[in-house]
Structure 1
Amino acid sequence: MPVMPGAEPFAHDGGDTGVLLCHGFTGTPQSLRPWASALAAAGHTVRLPRLPGHGTSWPEMNRTEWPDWFAEVDRALTELVGRCDRVFVGGLSMGGALALRLAQTRPADVTGLMLVNPAVTLGDPRLKALPVLKHLVPSLAGIASDIAASGSTELAYDRTPLKALHSFVRAMREVARDLPQVTQPLLLMHSPQDHVVPVASSELVLARVSSKDVTELLLERSFHVATLDHDADLIERESLAFVQRLTG
């Protein structure tokens, strides 16, 4: 299946500090490309993989599930651990959930977490119908480009594949359940105006992780895809400062 132009993965070999970035549900590496480029320009080794089923077509994504997406970021983390002295993991939305799961399952391999509007709960009662609805309707309207900045567009599907969404919803429950297992330093950046993931999701992460080193940053000028929004520069600066502080 051809990959959309601009949806390709990003990789940069730099110094001994590695950073793995994870994009969101129905999105592509394009949504995190500026963030990845800023980290690479600072001399870090960066990996931004394209998750299976993303960046091609939503019907193909409907044939993939959370284990497929997690396996891809797990593989990328293994590569970075093999070449770097320490590795940070960041993510947007579902990418934040993937990052948290890596921290939960491989604590010795994750030095710190950088999350933007992480999705560990969606709080939508309609999701209870997914086990049945996914067999009746293959997709619903998309969730892409929740961005305040005019002229900025997220490269993502215009449909939400429901079998894939159900897989993600089930996985979110496990990630939320195991939040106390997260002990790494955490930089959590979230938008008070987010039309995709409720603020309660970030609040849940902050309330339940066991991390002692926690920084919360409000992205006041941005919507959900803050990495392409007015606060993109702020995310990049704070991430670089976070990595620098923890690596000396």
Structure 2
Amino acid sequence: MIGCLCIHGFTGDPTEVEPLVEHLRTTTDWQFAVPTLPGHGESRALKGISYNQWIEHAEKELQELLKTCDTVYVVGFSMGGLIASYLAVHYPIKKLILLSAAAYYVNPRQLAVDVVGMMKDTFKGTLKENELFIRYSRKIKETPIAATVQFRKLVNSIKPLLPKVTIPTLIAQGESDGVVPPRSAQYLYEHISTPDKKLIYLKESKHLICHCNEREKLFQEVVDFLQK
């Protein structure tokens, strides 16, 4: 049996990776685990949660998969990509998929482009229809500063482990990502030790890479990499 653990990003929930999960469900007979990390999801209660709790929760989900599956893949989106890398170092995972993984965060150039777009929509009176505004305004309002500090601690604690990642790894990054800059993907590619690694860029994709217009291309790359 093949198992696949899919981990969402900071302040997010499983809907961030849901399109990919649904695609894999329809093309495979794998077993899936798509957890909601502590403090995340609809309830959004991040206050008082430490980054170690996010890692430990993902570990427990992985341990359950390993009980019933002899082959396990891990997919990590944004912050989930760093957690997935941690798991790849400490557990017998077969392959690793990193989507918009946050080795670095906030892309000033693309963020400026997105802000200009929001300003234009403000003048048109259509800001509330702007997809980026809808997705991120709630996150900004409801994210405690302490939670952001925990996120940064997680990134800083896991980045030194990247050279210990020795399993086949696919890294995918949107070139129009305003949250995680493209140099993050390049950093991951250069620091992960495995010789079996592939880096792909999707020119028009923003941060929520599984929801972008190029997602079908991404999904095919993921399927091909995991099934080769």
Normalising by the smaller structure, the TM-score range is: 0.7 to 0.9
Say yes or no: does 1:69 pair with 2:54. Answer: yes
Where does 1:51-200 land on structure 2 (aligned, <5 Å)?
51-58=37-44, 60-106=45-91, 109-122=92-105, 154=135, 157-159=139-141, 160-200=143-183
What SS does structure 1 have at the residue aligned with 2:148? Answer: helix
Q: Cα distance 1:231–1:121, how it changes in 2: closer, same or farther (>3 A)? A: same
Q: Deviations over 1:130-187 (max 9, x none)?
A: xxxxxxxxxxxxxxxxxxxx76865973433211111111121121111110001011
What SS does structure 2 have at the residue aligned with 1:64? Answer: coil
Where does 1:11-30 land on structure 2 (aligned, <5 Å)?
16-30=1-15
Q: Is the 8 A contact 1:31 1:154 kept in 2?
A: no
Say yes or no: does 1:32 pair with 2:32. Answer: no
Output the CA distance in 2 between the equivalents of 1:43 and 1:237.
16
CA displacement at 1:122 relative to structure 2 = 2.7
Structure 2 unmatched runs, 5+: 108-129
Higher helix share: 2
Amino acid at match of 1:43: D
Output the CA distance in 1 between the equivalents of 2:24 and 2:144.
32
What SS does structure 1 have at the residue aligned with 2:17? Answer: helix
Output the CA distance in 2 between the equivalents of 1:151 and 1:56.
18
Q: Is the 8 A contact 1:30 1:154 kept in 2?
A: no
CA displacement at 1:231 relative to structure 2 = 1.9
Query: Partner residue of 1:48?
Result: 34
Output the CA distance in 2 between the equivalents of 1:174 and 1:158.
24
What SS does structure 2 have at the residue aligned with 1:104? Answer: helix
Q: Deviations over 1:100-154 (max 9, x none)?
A: 1111222xx2111111110122379xxxxxxxxxxxxxxxxxxxxxxxxx76865
Q: Is the 8 A contact 2:175 2:201 kept in 1?
A: yes
Match of 2:196 among 213, 216, 219: 213
Say yes or no: does 1:226 pair with 2:209. Answer: yes
Amino acid at match of 2:158: V
Q: Deviations over 1:168-218 (max 9, x none)?
A: 111211211111100010110001111001222111111111111011111
Query: Partner residue of 1:238?
Result: 221
Q: How many pairs align?
A: 203
Percent of residue pairs identical? 29
Q: Which consecutive segments of 4 or more residues in structure 1 shift more than 4 A?
A: 150-156
Amino acid at match of 2:155: M
Amino acid at match of 2:157: E
